[in-house]
Amino acid sequence: MLLMEKAPIVRLLLFASIFLALFIPACHRPPWPLLDHPRLAPGVNMQDVTFFSTALNRETTYRVFLPRMLPTDQKFPVLYLIHGQGDNFTSWSNNTDVAHYVAPEGSTGLILVMPDCASSYCMNSATRPQDKYEDFMVHDLIADVESRFPAAPNRDNRAIIGISMGGFAAVKLALSHPDLFVFAGSLSGALDVPSRRFSFRQIGQWWRFRGIFGPSGSKTRLSSDPFQLIQTADPRPTPHLYLTVGENEPLLEPNQRFAERARALHFSSEFHTVSGTHTWTTWNSQIPDCFQSLLQYLKPAH
């Protein structure tokens, strides 16, 4: 009898310990030592910029790759590269060869911007007022980039690509802010995150998502769900959507489902699968085709 009386208390203590462990959000972890080994290319300069974000009410850092030769009267198209959950602003430069697209021989040049989005999914947090990452992206970051660098300030000269969490962000921002980008690429995008159901096996993940998107069925969660947004978005001004995913990863099914919905609703889009799992090896195999499609839409600045 005594053991049965204690059972609810034990369960309560168990849940309390899990929740307390997760109350320190991933996006506010203390700084950790970074092993930074950016992969540069000939004719490319790298610059890390730290600036104060009004939306976040704190300083944040982004990395830029840009052509070494910068004519005083020339502007360049800009590509924003969004990392995955648990990564940071160094991840794209450390794990890929995207620098080779910045100043290839015979091209007009390209600026790559790699912000630090923590584990925010680039959303305005439903529970943490200090984590307005969507406002940071669409207001603070773009404005800072265009004030410091010769970045063309037009939609036709601006694109966004992300992996995993960043792939979700690229698609969501494309649907919510079609005036900002001409192209949105998602590599293994976690497009189903707002619609995932509660699971005891994934209780830590569920709690983090609840903090970002709000409770299941809430207005904040529905307004962040790509599957909901695409139902009411206008296909005509929406950026071209490039979707790709590994054939051996759990995100294959939601990406296929979203691609089918985009086609049915007549959005400009394409969907590709490649052999692989949720790793940089898979994403590196997808990048050349993604950039080939990107350069068909991203216009050189005049």
Mean pLDDT per 10-residue section of the chain, whose length is 302 residues: 43 44 40 76 97 98 96 94 97 98 89 97 95 98 98 97 98 98 98 78 75 92 96 98 97 98 98 97 98 95 76
Three-class SS state of 190: coil
Range of 97's domain? Answer: 2-297
32 Cβ neighbours under 8 A, 6+ residues apart? none
Residue-level pLDDT at 286: 97
- Confirm whether 302 is domain-assigned: no
- Confirm whether 238 is domain-assigned: yes
- Confirm whether 135 is domain-assigned: yes
48 Cβ neighbours under 8 A, 6+ residues apart? 61, 62, 63, 64, 89
**Runs of H (alpha helix) within the chain:** 2-22, 91-95, 133-135, 142-148, 165-176, 203-213, 219-222, 226-232, 252-264, 280-297
- Confirm whether 274 is domain-assigned: yes
**Total domain count, the chain:** 1
How many angstroms separate the Cα of 281 from the Cα of each of 87, 152, 274?
16, 32, 11
- Confirm whether 121 is domain-assigned: yes
CA 188/CA 242 separation, integer angstroms: 11
- Confirm whether 142 is domain-assigned: yes
Domain containing residue 102: CATH number:
3.40.50.1820
For 230-280, the pLDDT digits (tens) are 999 999 999 999 999 999 999 999 999 999 999 999 999 999 999 999 999
